[in-house]
């Protein structure tokens, strides 16, 4: 049942993206009422799939790779909806929804494992707060990635005519708009991911007897956090090199992805439960 609902949610995400794609092709800025409504429906179906999975598993569905990917997609989609409504002048959902769909395809098309009991070390109240807060940080940085990729193709503001003087306004907005919003999101990602790391340390102290053991995943999370700290404190690039600034959050996300998936795929360290 949860798998079927997951595929259904993926189809609705795709439909939502098509509405935003039409908006993009018609050279309107990123707001689409139809796209927003359909995206909200997709999130509701996705949440239903998560609840069903939780009931089948008998615990919060974050433990397996399949569960982590689908929950990651859900949190990212929810944040995309909120920011897309707030920043209706930028095509946020158009840039981020492909990443949400990619996570869903990676989870659903992979080797889906049946629900199983939690390992004893995960059976803790910290399981909820540590994972949820960390995934909010991941979602913020995923949105940051979508905006950075868009910035690679967006024109600088100096080359754009005011919309009132142009019958073909920019599809993406300006380079400066996208990179500006990307930078504004980073402190929220630092706050949530940093809090997730700190709570993980407290949890480790109770479970393993030490708050920090240089486990590959916790080390990777710290390196990722520090890379975004460097990015947000780096000076804003001026002139033609401004577009190259987009590669900084892209590089940071590569570190995040290696931490999130690489450790488990290679079965390194204490966090490689599967």
pLDDT in tens, 5-62: 999 999 999 999 999 998 888 766 556 888 999 999 999 999 999 999 988 888 788 8
Helices (H), the chain: 2-25, 33-57, 65-86, 92-108, 126-151, 175-208, 216-233, 247-257, 263-266
Q: Are residues 37 and 52 in the same domain?
A: yes
Contact 133, 39 (CB under 8 A): no
Q: Are residues 194 and 59 in the same domain?
A: no
Q: Are residues 134 and 238 in the same domain?
A: yes
Given a cut of 90, whether residue 135 has pLDDT beyond it is yes
Domain limit, last residue, from 118, 144, 165 = 118
Higher pLDDT, residue 270 or 24: 24
% of the chain beyond a pLDDT of 90:
43
Q: Are residues 195 and 163 in the same domain?
A: yes
Q: Given this model, what pLDDT does residue 125 score?
A: 78
User: What does the pLDDT average to over 142-153?
Assistant: 93
CA dihedral sign of residues 66, 13, 184, 91:
positive
Q: Mean pLDDT across the chain, nearest whole number?
A: 84
Domain limit, last residue, from 102, 118, 134 = 118
Confidence of residue 253 (pLDDT cuts 50, 70, 90): very high
Higher pLDDT, residue 143 or 128: 143
Radius of gyration over every alpha carbon of the chain, rounded to an integer in angstroms: 19
Residues listed for the chain:
274
Q: Are residues 147 and 174 in the same domain?
A: yes
Q: Are residues 105 and 166 in the same domain?
A: no
Question: Tokens 């974050």 correspond to what residue?
Answer: 62
Q: Are residues 85 and 196 in the same domain?
A: no
Tokens standing for residue 185: 């999101």
Q: Are residues 145 and 157 in the same domain?
A: yes
pTM passes above 0.95: no
Q: Which domain holds residue 153?
A: 119-274
Q: Given this model, what pLDDT does residue 214 score?
A: 76
Q: Are residues 24 and 146 in the same domain?
A: no
Tell me the C-alpha to C-alpha distance, in Å, between residue 35 and each of 14, 41, 44: 10, 10, 14
Tell me the C-alpha to C-alpha distance, in Å, between residue 218 and each of 224, 227, 239, 252: 10, 14, 38, 16
Q: Are residues 29 and 160 in the same domain?
A: no
Confidence of residue 167 (pLDDT cuts 50, 70, 90): very low
Q: Are residues 161 and 266 in the same domain?
A: yes
Contact 193, 221 (CB under 8 A): yes
Q: pLDDT tens for residues 178-227?
A: 999 999 999 999 999 999 999 888 888 887 777 777 778 888 889 999 99
Q: Given this model, what pLDDT does residue 272 score?
A: 53
CA dihedral sign of residues 117, 267, 258, 146:
negative
Measured CA to CA, the distance from residue 249 to residue 169 in angstroms comes to: 26
Q: Could you tell me if residue 214 is left (phi over 0), alpha (psi between -120 and 50 degrees) or otherwise beta?
A: left
Q: Are residues 36 and 166 in the same domain?
A: no
Domain limit, last residue, from 58, 88, 118 = 118
Given a cut of 60, whether residue 170 has pLDDT beyond it is no
Measured CA to CA, the distance from residue 155 to residue 171 in angstroms comes to: 10
Given a cut of 60, whether residue 269 has pLDDT beyond it is no
Q: Which of the given ranges, 52-56, 121-125, 228-232, has the highest pLDDT on average?
A: 228-232
Q: What's the domain count of the chain?
A: 2
Confidence of residue 164 (pLDDT cuts 50, 70, 90): very low
Q: pLDDT tens for residues 71-107?
A: 999 999 999 999 989 888 788 999 999 999 999 998 8
Q: Given this model, what pLDDT does residue 31 score?
A: 66
């Amino acid at each position: 049942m949860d798998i079927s609902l997951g595929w259904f949610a993926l189809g609705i995400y795709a439909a939502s993206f098509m509405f935003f794609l039409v908006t993009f092709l018609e050279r309107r800025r990123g707001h689409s009422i139809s796209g927003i409504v359909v995206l909200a429906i997709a999130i509701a179906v996705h949440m239903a799939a998560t609840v069903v999975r939780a009931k089948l598993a008998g615990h919060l569905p974050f433990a397996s790779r399949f569960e982590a990917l689908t929950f990651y997609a859900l949190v990212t989609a929810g944040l995309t909806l909120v920011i897309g409504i707030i920043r209706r002048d930028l095509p946020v959902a158009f840039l981020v929804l492909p990443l949400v769909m990619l996570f869903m395809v990676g989870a659903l098309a992979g080797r889906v494992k049946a629900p199983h009991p939690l390992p004893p070390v995960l059976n803790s109240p910290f399981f909820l707060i540590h994972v949820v807060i960390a995934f909010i940080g991941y979602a913020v940085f995923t949105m940051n990635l979508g905006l950075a990729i868009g910035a690679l193709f967006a024109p600088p503001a100096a080359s754009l005519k005011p919309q009132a003087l142009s019958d073909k306004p920019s599809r993406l907005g300006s380079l400066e708009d996208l990179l500006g919003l990307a930078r504004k999101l980073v402190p929220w990602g630092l706050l949530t991911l940093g809090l997730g790391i700190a709570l993980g340390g407290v949890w480790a102290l109770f479970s393993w007897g030490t708050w920090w053991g240089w486990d590959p995943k916790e080390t990777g999370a710290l390196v990722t956090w520090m890379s975004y700290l460097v990015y947000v404190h780096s000076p804003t690039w001026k002139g033609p090199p401004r577009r190259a600034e987009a590669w900084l959050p892209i590089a940071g996300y590569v570190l995040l992805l290696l931490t999130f998936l690489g450790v488990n795929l290679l079965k390194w360290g204490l966090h490689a439960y599967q």
